[in-house]
Amino acid sequence: MCMLKKEYLKGKTLKSFDYNGVKVVYHDGVTFNCLPEWECYECCKTPADLNSGEYKILLNLGYSDFAYEIAPGIYKLRKENDACIFLKNNRCEIHEHKPVSCKAQPFVPIYFDFHSLKLVVAIEPQAYNWCYGLQAGEMDEEVLKQASKACKKLFYDRVKYYENFKNPHNAFLIAALSIPEKVGLISESPMKSLCFSCGFPLKMTETYDIYNAYPIKREYVEYKTALICEMCMEKLDEVDENRIVALKDSLFSNPRIVEYFKI
Ligand code: SF4
Ligand code: SF4
Ligand SMILES: [Zn+2]
């Protein structure tokens, strides 16, 4: 079995699959599967994170000293022989109970799209360097559904994690944008993470450039002390400094956000 290279994606169109409030974006002609009989455990070389619920389940199953706390409520699995402690003879010993971050592989939540009110999920671009499960072919709907479910859970975990340090609105924003650089911006000024004109959160990362044909990357320009999105660039004279505060408030009272993400 040979691994699919990133070059294979050149010229391929992007497809998306909507399920349960999640939009999975992937290239046409790419399929994914992960079968135990392949004995590929490349992603297990970097031990996964788990939440406190997953940690307790493993404790109750009789496992001990298998993880350490890296932040309140978030644990990292220990390493043994340069791989996850649960990797035994190229098999996952806790396959039935493996953490959601393992189940999601190689899909990751990219950001929450406030325009469509959906969590956008894509294949981690680096995965084309190590995941044998990415192949040429047609994507199976069940795989996409599983990826949606797992990434939504991961997203909830991120929100809960940031709630240890931030108020719920800012915790949600940080998780929704999912970019470390944004964390700095948000702690400096939550307003700088939103488009100064329309109030939608901004996204600025180069990592996902393979998805350039799709609006995963929302461009921005600096506008005085704030940032403004590409959609509003042409209407700069309409900017009203008071609007952003009202827009942020309305964002967090939107029933669809409250319902789906319980904030
Ligand atoms: S828990 Fe299982 S699937 Fe997850 S990293 Fe460890 S061995 Fe791999
Ligand atoms: S690298 Fe890909 S195929 Fe291999 S175990 Fe991880 S997800 Fe499965
Ligand atoms: Zn805007």
Residue 21, in any domain of the structure: no
Residue 148, in any domain of the structure: no
Residues at Cβ < 5 Å from ligand 3 ion? 195, 197-198, 229, 231-232
Mean pLDDT of 154-162: 85
Residue 22, in any domain of the structure: no
Count the domains in the chain.
2
Q: Do 169 and 253 lie in a common domain? A: yes
Q: Which atom of ligand 2 approaches the CA of 33 most closely?
A: 3
Q: Do 242 and 163 lie in a common domain? A: yes
Q: Which atom of ligand 1 approaches the CA of 95 most closely?
A: 2
Which of 104, 119, 142 represents a domain boundary (last residue)? Answer: 104
Count CB-CB contacts under 10 A for residue 98.
20
Structure tokens at 42: 């490349």
Per-residue pLDDT for 126 more than 80?
A: yes
Q: Do 86 and 164 lie in a common domain? A: no
Which of 64, 80, 104 represents a domain boundary (last residue)? Answer: 104
Give the pLDDT score at 120: 86
Q: Which atom of ligand 2 approaches the CA of 106 most closely?
A: 7
CA distance 83 to 85: 6
**pLDDT band per the 50, 70, 90 thresholds, residue 181:** very low
CA distance 99 to 97: 6
**Angle of CA points 60, 62, 67, to nearest 5°:** 85
Nearest CA to ligand 2 atom 5: 41
Residue 29, in any domain of the structure: no
Which of 104, 119, 134 represents a domain boundary (last residue)? Answer: 104
Residue 169, in any domain of the structure: yes
Q: Are 120 and 148 in contact (CB under 8 A)?
A: no
Nearest CA to ligand 2 atom 1: 131
**pLDDT band per the 50, 70, 90 thresholds, residue 148:** very high
Distance between Cα 83 and ligand 1 center (Å): 9
- Four-CA torsion 31, 141, 154, 26, nearest 10 degrees: 40
Considering every ligand atom shown, identify the ligand nearest to the alpha carbon of residue 67 and give its number.
1
Give the pLDDT score at 235: 62
Q: Do 254 and 174 lie in a common domain? A: yes
Q: Are 116 and 23 in contact (CB under 8 A)?
A: yes
Per-residue pLDDT for 57 more than 70?
A: yes
Residue 19, in any domain of the structure: no
Per-residue pLDDT for 45 more than 60?
A: yes
Q: Do 163 and 257 lie in a common domain? A: yes
Residue 195, in any domain of the structure: yes
Residue 76 sits in which domain range?
35-104
Residue 11, in any domain of the structure: no
φ/ψ of residue 111, rounded to 5: -170, 165
Nearest to 112 by CA among 244, 241, 254: 254
Per-residue pLDDT for 48 more than 70?
A: yes
Q: Do 254 and 168 lie in a common domain? A: yes
CA distance 218 to 180: 16
Q: Do 172 and 255 lie in a common domain? A: yes
CA distance 26 to 139: 9
- Four-CA torsion 96, 97, 100, 102, nearest 10 degrees: -70
**Ligand 2 binding site (Cβ under 6 Å of any ligand atom):** 34, 40-43, 105-106, 130-133
Considering every ligand atom shown, identify the ligand nearest to the alpha carbon of residue 243 and give its number.
3
Q: Is 34 in the pocket of ligand 1 (CB under 6 A)?
A: no
